[in-house]
Amino acid sequence: MRDTEIIESLRTCLTVSVGRHLYGVLGSYQKLRAFAETLQQATTPDGKPFPAPLSVNKGILESIPDTEFRWLVENEAKRPEPTAAHVAQAFERFLRSHLKSESILVLANFEMLFAYNIELSLLRTLARDEDRMLLLLPGRRSSGRVIMFPDLDRGSYTLPTNLIAENHLWELRD
């Protein structure tokens, strides 16, 4: 779909007052950046401009105090589980701190979540009624799945199939 078609579909979805409000846009990093710029020129159904995307990676890093961060870096190779747990907690703090401040939270840069294999169900749980989220995801659809970071040489990541409803997930096309 084109940017404008996605924005119109999103605006229509946002008029519903209750239910799950987790949305996603798939595309390359370049297409997602261009989409974010176009999105910020549009307005939400309540007449406010769509907010700029927040970086999940940056939000996680800013949510971990410096002393804890140093300890995690020094011990990650020996004990990766505590690092993953800290990343998950920081992700939750980041989301909860930003949800109430925007009519819709636009999120980008999810690499840390996938690198540490963080459970994404928190996104679905928190995106309800008045708390709305739009995820800008570097990925594409393939054989009924969403492949994240499709240009990676090593490994692959898939988005959980039940995370975002099919009619709330759009893919940017040329």
Residue-wise pLDDT for 118-157, tens only, equals: 999 999 999 988 889 999 999 999 888 898 988 777 767 8
Q: What is the three-class DSSP state of 42?
A: coil
What are the residue ranges spanned by the domains of the chain? 3-42+51-171
Measured from the Cβ of residue 81, the count of other Cβ atoms closer than 10 Å reads: 9
Q: What is the pLDDT of residue 174?
A: 62
Query: Is pLDDT above 80 for 2?
Result: yes
Query: Is pLDDT above 70 for 38?
Result: yes
Q: What is the pLDDT of residue 24?
A: 97
Distances in whole angstroms, Cα of residue 4 to Cα of each of 11, 40, 155, 172: 10, 12, 33, 10
Residue-wise pLDDT for 12-34, tens only, equals: 999 988 888 999 999 999 999 99
Find the angle CA(128)-CA(95)-CA(165) to the nearest 5 degrees: 40
Q: What is the pLDDT of residue 173?
A: 81
Residue 123 phi, psi (nearest 5)? -60, -45
Residue-wise pLDDT for 96-107, tens only, equals: 999 877 779 999
Residue-wise pLDDT for 48-88, tens only, equals: 999 999 999 999 989 888 887 777 777 777 777 878 888 89
Is residue 21 within 8 Å of residue 128, measured between CB atoms? Answer: yes
Mean pLDDT of 40-44: 95
Q: What is the pLDDT of residue 119?
A: 92
Contacts of 16 (CB under 8 A, 6+ apart): none
Report field, pTM of the whole predicted structure over 0.85: yes
Q: What is the pLDDT of residue 155?
A: 67
Q: What is the pLDDT of residue 81?
A: 81
